[in-house]
Amino acid sequence: MTVGFDETVTMDTVRNHNMPDDAWCAIHGTVYDITKFSKVHPGGDIIMLAAGKEATILFETYHIKGVPDAVLRKYKVGKLPQGKKGETSHMPTGLDSASYYSWDSEFYRVLRERVAKKLAEPGLMQRARMELWAKAIFLLAGFWGSLYAMCVLDPHGGAMVAAVTLGVFAAFVGTCIQHDGSHGAFSKSRFMNKAAGWTLDMIGASAMTWEMQHVLGHHPYTNLIEMENGLAKVKGADVDPKKVDQESDPDVFSTYPMLRLHPWHRQRFYHKFQHLYAPFIFGFMTINKVISQDVGVVLRKRLFQIDANCRYGSPWYVARFWIMKLLTTLYTVALPMYMQGPAQGLKLFFMAHFTCGEVLATMFIVNHIIEGVSYASKDAVKGVMAPPRTVHGVTPMQVTQKALSAAESTKSDADKTTMIPLNDWAAVQCQTSVNWAVGSWFWNHFSGGLNHQIEHHCFPQNPHTVNVYISGIVKETCEEYGVPYQAEISLFSAYFKMLSHLRTLGNEDLTARST
């Protein structure tokens, strides 16, 4: 199909070009054909995640220095129609509201410029890459060494200890290698980023399914849920991804069963106890992904509202998925069962996965489900978009901007800081994410950069080893523009505040306050 540069292309048309060999996307209201460009894209084929989608957030956050207009013009095929209020509409037919987010302020542009300047300092990126590679070698050796020990040591002694260490190393392979690789941040090499991303398949899960949930769902739309269809999506109802709003976060809200993690979710009687049983539920996170979620996504070619044809529309990727599932089943399940006996082998396998899930959940969930964090909600059909609010109905940026206005009351209008829209994308990220142990080199390495969650969400294309160097810049820029920057002193403080927050979510009807 060929269209002119100035012709109108509907989002429904873009959604139909959603395959690896036929990929269109929309960025700031302009439609591009990225099929050929994906072969030479400097960041690798991560660009194919944009196939058939509105990709403004991906474009902005993965190109800290921008993209030359000459490059963009080569692949332009048309423009999206304008919405009711003059905004570019990228919703499916019948959904008239535009994006929840605004890109009109200078906040993120200024922040990107300052971070880019910091990263350009001589030796900084080289040091960060060396730290990343050294840690990767150590973690991979630890993973395979633990797997070997689990198979050969005393099944009721050393092998059980090895199963626990295997789970720990698997978790850190995920946070410190795969996470960066799948974000295109592990290396400048397309191949090495792909290889690093595939280490998730090595430990049993699917990197491609993770991309659907994390890169396409969680990162762009953190703590945002579409109210009309939100419950159906989280429950996995058979919703056509081409007929619903793509702006909804499936990551935090669909990973853990039996937990109420968003004020809009329906309250059940057992949620009042969720702060007590949540730590146990966390341990089943990875086993659920490996056995249930991965297989469901490759069969349905979608993850909740997210169309997964950009990956699983390729027979090669589907074949690779099943080959890796078979291989990991052989060396993580069949081999321990053969070496240690069927019952003990299965026990060791589940011990390793439970440990892995517990470690990952402990370091991840505290970043987005914790006292003081904000939740966003929208109703794409009614066009209602609520600003980010805490469970107590407070919009943090209204508080910080009010304080900034008071502090600048004596300045002339020309000298006052420009106020940031409440739905500014980067500002929303700062309100829906929480840091812990900020500036700590140790915790940054230990967690794979998860302790600098705000920095990671604003700049996912950076290796996590640089977050400790840019955190000061991000915090200062937030303070300058009246944008909240929440940080806990330690992981332990964050964890207990997360449990307290779960208790609040489980014991109160918070729907009215959060919408």
Query: What single-letter DSSP state applies at residue 385?
Result: E
Gyration radius of the chain over CA positions: 23
Residue 121 lies in a domain: no
Query: What's the confidence (pLDDT) of residue 236?
Result: 41
Query: What single-letter DSSP state applies at residue 48?
Result: G
Query: What's the confidence (pLDDT) of residue 33?
Result: 95
The per-residue pLDDT for range 22-58, each reduced to its tens digit, is: 999 999 989 999 999 988 888 888 999 999 999 999 9
Residues 384 and 447 in one domain: yes
The answer on pLDDT for 15 being more than 50 is yes
Q: In terms of residue numbers, what domain contains 334?
A: 130-367
Residues 290 and 261 in one domain: yes
The per-residue pLDDT for range 409-427, each reduced to its tens digit, is: 777 777 777 788 899 999 9
Residue pair 448/163 in contact by the 8 Å Cβ criterion: no
Q: Which residues contact 217 (CB under 8 A, 6 or more apart)?
A: 248, 249, 250, 251, 303, 304, 306
Residue type, 218: H
The sign of the CA dihedral 99, 100, 104, 108 is negative
Residues 257 and 341 in one domain: yes
Q: For 386-396, what is the mean pLDDT?
A: 89
Q: Residue 111: which pLDDT band, with cuts at 50, 70 and 90?
A: very high
Query: What's the confidence (pLDDT) of residue 231?
Result: 47
Query: What's the confidence (pLDDT) of residue 226?
Result: 74
Which domain-ending residue is among 367, 400, 430?
367
Q: For 481-493, what is the mean pLDDT?
A: 94
Beta strands 30-33 and 22-27, pairing class: antiparallel
Residue 286 lies in a domain: yes
Q: For 466-495, what is the mean pLDDT?
A: 95
Cα–Cα dist 484/431, whole Å: 6
Cα–Cα dist 397/415, whole Å: 20
Residue 113 lies in a domain: no
At 420, phi and psi to the nearest 5?
Answer: -90, 135
Residues 362 and 382 in one domain: no
Residues 387 and 363 in one domain: no
Query: Which CATH number characterizes residue 74's domain?
Result: 3.10.120.10
Q: Residue 274: which pLDDT band, with cuts at 50, 70 and 90?
A: very high
Residue 117 lies in a domain: no
Percent of the chain with pLDDT over 90: 64
Residue 247 lies in a domain: yes
Residue 204 lies in a domain: yes
Residues 59 and 145 in one domain: no
The per-residue pLDDT for range 198-239, each reduced to its tens digit, is: 999 999 999 999 999 999 999 999 998 876 544 444 444 455
The per-residue pLDDT for range 336-346, each reduced to its tens digit, is: 999 999 999 99
The per-residue pLDDT for range 153-193, each reduced to its tens digit, is: 999 999 999 999 999 999 999 999 999 999 999 998 999 99
Residues 243 and 226 in one domain: yes
Query: Which structure tokens are listed for 123?
Result: 């030796």
Residue 228 lies in a domain: yes
Residue pair 230/244 in contact by the 8 Å Cβ criterion: no
Residue 98 lies in a domain: no
In which residue are the tokens 């890459």 written?
129
Residues 142 and 187 in one domain: yes
Cα–Cα dist 130/181, whole Å: 15
The answer on pLDDT for 117 being more than 50 is yes
Query: How many separate domains does the chain show?
Result: 3
Closest CA to 183 of 478, 494, 475, 466: 466
In which residue are the tokens 């069963």 written?
257
489 C-beta neighbours (distance < 10 Å), count: 10
Cα–Cα distances in Å, from 498 out to 123, 233, 510?
Answer: 37, 24, 17
Query: What's the confidence (pLDDT) of residue 235?
Result: 42
Residues 325 and 470 in one domain: no
Residues 301 and 210 in one domain: yes
Q: Residue 95: which pLDDT band, with cuts at 50, 70 and 90?
A: very low
Residues 481 and 460 in one domain: yes
Closest CA to 472 of 447, 501, 439, 503: 439
Name the burial class of residue 121, with classes exposed (0-12), middle (13-18) and buried (19+) by CB atoms within 10 angstroms of its CB.
exposed
Beta strands 306-307 and 302-303, pairing class: antiparallel
- On the CB side of 388, how many CA atoms lie within 13 Å of its CA? 31
Q: For 62-88, what is the mean pLDDT?
A: 79
Select, from the ranges 73-82, 85-94, 114-123, the one with the highest average predicted confidence (pLDDT): 114-123
Cα–Cα dist 497/44, whole Å: 39
Predicted model pTM: 0.90
The answer on pLDDT for 373 being more than 90 is yes
Which of 323-327, 377-381, 413-417 has the weakest average pLDDT?
Answer: 377-381
Residues 192 and 278 in one domain: yes
